[in-house]
Structures are given as C-alpha cells and as structure tokens.
Homo-oligomer: A and B are copies of this chain.
Amino acid sequence: MTKGRLEAFSDGVIAILITILVLELKVPHGTDLDALRPMLPTFLTYVLSFVYVGIYWNNHHHLLHATTGVSAGILWANLHLLFWLSLIPFVTGWMGENHFAAVPTAIYGGVLFAAAIAYLILEIAIIAHQGPESKLREAIGREWKGKLSVLCYLSAILLAFVNHWYSHGLYVFVALLWLIPDRRIEAKLRE
C-alpha cells in the first residue's frame, strides 16, 4: 500500500477546507467602508484559521515525508485528524460572527486541541508501523512545540471564560510559534 493516495486525499481535503473557510465571509449589504467594519472579527478569525490550516498542511507534509508505508491504522488516524480539521470552518464562523464570545472562543480552542491530539495519534500510528528503528520517534522526542501548543490550547479554553482576549492572544502565539522558528531551524540546517 503506497502513501501517494493518502497524501493526495489529505491534500485535497485540506485544500478544500482552507478554501471553504472563505464562504464564512458573507458579502455585506452596504457599499461603503462602514459595511466592512462589523466584518472585522470574522475577517481576523478567517486569517487565524487560514494560518492554522496552513500550518497543519505544512506539518502533515513533513510528517508523511518521513513515512514510508501506510497501514490501516495510519489511514484511520489520518481520517481522524481530517475530521477535527473539517470542523474548523464551523467554529471559525461561530466565533467570528459572535465577536469572540466566551463559549465559541472556548469551542474553537477545543477543536484545535482535538486536532493536536489527533495529530499526535497519527504520529504514534506511524511510529508503531515503522517499528523499533523508527526515525520519527527520535524527531518527536525533541519536539517541544507540539506539547507547548496543547498546553496553550487548554489554557485558552479555560481563559475564554475569564477574558477572551487571553485566549486569542494564545491562539495567535501558537500560530507564530509554528510560523517563525521553522525558518530559523531551516536556516541553521542549511549552514
């Protein structure tokens, strides 16, 4: 069983997810700039979710690059990850339309948390399939970003009921965490 179709299918689902996010941006009725102002929370949420789906695509790309064979367990762990990612347009729309209210903000974090756990399960399924000499196992041992992200999501869920700005700060922080250091590491690798 080859990984080609698994990659193609995942790429397809993630590409559709990142694109139908824009369907949550409903065309406003007015024709002046004021008509855009109430859309600002929806737009910012759109940007945030776009970046998150992009990060997942990017990491998924690297993860499968380090994968050789595909087992049924990997197929289902991958579908499980895609399931949680597929809920992102829904929670994005809910959080954006309600100007970052507490419950939608917490649920948004809940979906990010579940996706992070699903990603972890996918990594475990791949390591289990690769056996004791798995190279991925080593790589993941050094991976502190995934653990920190999960911690941030959990904090954001709780903090949503204190002050939702803390939660959004954490969501933006995690996004930057994945966006920025990758370049630094890559630069080091190329030295």
Binding site for B on A (CB under 8 A): 1, 5, 7-9, 11-25, 27-28, 31-33, 35-36, 47, 50, 54, 57-58, 61-62, 65, 71-73, 75-76, 79, 82-83, 86-87, 89-90, 93-94, 97-98, 101-104, 107, 179, 182-183, 186
Enumerate chain B residues within 8 angstroms of A94, measured Cβ to Cβ: 27-28
- The distance from the CB of A65 to the nearest CB of chain B, in whole angstroms, is 7
A7 touches B5 (CB 8 A): yes
Enumerate chain B residues within 8 angstroms of A65, measured Cβ to Cβ: 1
- The distance from the CB of A43 to the nearest CB of chain B, in whole angstroms, is 9
Q: A14-B9, A23-B23, A61-B5 are in contact. Are A76 and B179 (CB under 8 A)?
A: yes
- The distance from the CB of A75 to the nearest CB of chain B, in whole angstroms, is 6
Enumerate chain B residues within 8 angstroms of A72, measured Cβ to Cβ: 58, 182-183, 186
Q: A12-B16, A50-B83, A61-B75 are in contact. List 10 more A-B contacts (CB 8 A).
A: A1-B61, A16-B16, A17-B19, A22-B90, A27-B90, A32-B103, A36-B107, A50-B86, A58-B72, A71-B186
Closest to A22 in B: B86
Closest to A89 in B: B22
- The distance from the CB of A159 to the nearest CB of chain B, in whole angstroms, is 17
A21 to B20 alpha-carbon distance, docked (Å) = 11
B9 touches A9 (CB 8 A): no
Enumerate chain B residues within 8 angstroms of A5, measured Cβ to Cβ: 7, 11, 61
